[in-house]
Amino acid sequence: MAVPAPLKRVKDFEDLGFGMFVHWGLYSQLGVGEWTYWTHKRDMNEYKLLKDSFTAEDFSAEDMVLTAKRAGCKYITLTTRHHEGFSLYDTCGLNDFDAPHSPAGRDLIREFVDACNKHGIVPFFYHTTLDWYNPDFNNDFDSYLEYLRKSVEILCKNYGKIGGLWFDGNWSKKDADWKEDALYATIRKYQPDAIIVNNTGLEARGKVGNPEIDSVTFEQGRPTPMDREGMEKYIAAEMCCTLNNHWGIGYRDFDYKSPSALIENLCACRRVGANYLLNIGPTAQGGVHPFQRELMAIIGDWMELFGEAIYRGRPHASKCSYEKNFVLKSEDALYFFMHDLCQRGDANVTVGGEFQPDSAFFGIEEQIESVEWMDNGEKLEFVQKDGVFSFDATGYPYGTNTCVRVAKAKIKK
């Protein structure tokens, strides 16, 4: 069975490759994660008073956007409204539980979109479908769905061209009629090229939903390959992941992932053709946490060396004798992603220099002209025969280790 060709908007989305997720809202003032209202069984009458101390005094949309750009991200997905029901945008009279009616007194989504457009980053809007604040969610679901649709209509009409909308919460009422057709028709009316995502959560990773959906989601962990044979429409994939173990800021959560783990996750996503959406949780009033900023910057250093392979490369059917290694392909090159390389140097001063994984690849039908490391241009010896390709994957020069090292092989024309 054939694999359908992707629509232009879907191909453009896959070309973005790497994005930054941002979870910020009233919950950030409490500093114990974005689900604190539900998890810690808070009273909404007290919780909603967090609006009165929401100043957004530390929020700089430009700083947030430049943090993403420094990391090599091509897009940002920002929580315009999370499950708590508070909106970072002007709800235009739907209610007054929004940033313009708080001490912030600003439409923060307008600032976000303007900064994205200024610096060449594509803005995406996260929007909850679950709402703890609005009583209609439990008492009059049809009225609530119209409120949700009108909220999304505001986002589609008032901020110019956006990259897409990322919904989250349908899993809260699994058997309900969410009237998705009406919601998605509103998006298509005002934003025909927008990517539509509806998060399937941890229990249904990679599940395909409504026909208008453009990308499936994988939450935490690593994505699995998409089987698109026989699909009526080519659907992209995106893996969303946290820097630590929850989405909003946690002032006493010191369990951040290492740069090497984050880089390997990024590579694992692209191995199966999925985008990588990596989350930061701004501080109470919207500042980028210094440690999170530096983690993103380290990924950016890696992307400066190997970003071409992340953006241009697509999955290749070959296999490596060392399972962690893999190949991506562009029109004129193959990119060999090499893990666990040793460091070259005197045995008395190097650490972990004894193991050197095999670099034999099977199923390479393209004829290779030359191979070199992308980080320093070092030319590498290679042998190619009967579909087997092997090259001299020299270890790291002493004092360097990029966690995953990429060799670029030029394909003969």
Asked whether residue 78 falls in the same domain as residue 107, the answer is: yes
Position 254 in a domain: yes
Position 179 in a domain: yes
Domain of 217?
8-312
Asked whether residue 35 falls in the same domain as residue 175, the answer is: yes
CATH of the domain at 263: 3.20.20.80
Asked whether residue 280 falls in the same domain as residue 353, the answer is: no
pLDDT at res. 243: 95
What is the maximal distance between C-alpha atoms in the chain? 72
Of 249, 284, 312, at which residue does a domain stop?
312
Position 3 in a domain: no
Beta-strand pair 360-362/319-320: antiparallel
Of 286, 324, 293, 290, nearest to 278 by C-alpha is: 293
In single-letter form, the type of residue at position 244 comes to: N
Backbone angles phi, psi at 292, to 5 degrees: -65, -40
Position 1 in a domain: no
Asked whether residue 107 falls in the same domain as residue 152, the answer is: yes
Sign of CA dihedral 395, 396, 402, 406: negative
Asked whether residue 218 falls in the same domain as residue 251, the answer is: yes
pLDDT at res. 397: 87
What stretches of 35-109 adopt beta strand conformation (E)?
Answer: 75-81
CATH of the domain at 403: 2.60.40.1180
Asked whether residue 165 falls in the same domain as residue 273, the answer is: yes
pLDDT at res. 149: 98
Give me the tens of pLDDT residue by residue for the chain, a chain 413 residues long: 688 899 999 999 999 999 999 999 999 999 999 999 999 999 999 999 999 999 999 999 999 999 999 999 999 999 999 999 999 999 999 999 999 999 999 999 999 999 999 999 999 999 999 999 999 999 999 999 999 999 999 999 999 999 999 999 999 999 999 999 999 999 999 999 999 999 875 455 546 778 899 999 888 878 888 888 888 899 999 999 999 988 999 999 999 999 999 999 999 999 999 999 999 999 999 999 999 999 999 999 999 999 999 999 999 999 998 999 999 999 999 999 999 998 765 554 445 455 466 679 999 999 999 999 999 999 999 999 988 999 999 888 888 999 999 999 999 98
Of 295, 312, 329, at which residue does a domain stop?
312
pLDDT at res. 56: 98
Position 32 in a domain: yes
Residues 23-41 have pLDDT tens digits of 999 999 999 999 999 999 9
Asked whether residue 142 falls in the same domain as residue 205, the answer is: yes
137-165 per-residue burial string, b: 16 or more CB within 10 A, e: under 16: beeeeeebbebbbebbbbbbeebeebbbb
Asked whether residue 331 falls in the same domain as residue 403, the answer is: yes
Asked whether residue 361 falls in the same domain as residue 383, the answer is: yes
In single-letter form, the type of residue at position 43 comes to: D
Of 132, 129, 126, 124, nearest to 97 by C-alpha is: 132
Position 298 in a domain: yes
Of 261, 292, 312, at which residue does a domain stop?
312
Assess contact for 282 and 249: CB atoms under 8 A: yes
Query: What is the 3-class SS of 300-367, one letter each residue?
Result: HHHHHHHHHHHHHCEECCCEECCCCCEEEECCCEEEEEEECCCECCCCCCCCCCCCCCCCEEECCCCC
pLDDT at res. 348: 47
Q: How many domains does the chain have?
A: 2
Asked whether residue 276 falls in the same domain as residue 337, the answer is: no
Asked whether residue 231 falls in the same domain as residue 274, the answer is: yes
Position 2 in a domain: no
Tell me the CA distances in angstroms from 323 to 310, 340, 361, one per residue in order: 19, 11, 10
Of 273, 307, 289, 275, nearest to 402 by C-alpha is: 307
Structure tokens belonging to residue 363: 């199923």
Asked whether residue 346 falls in the same domain as residue 293, the answer is: no
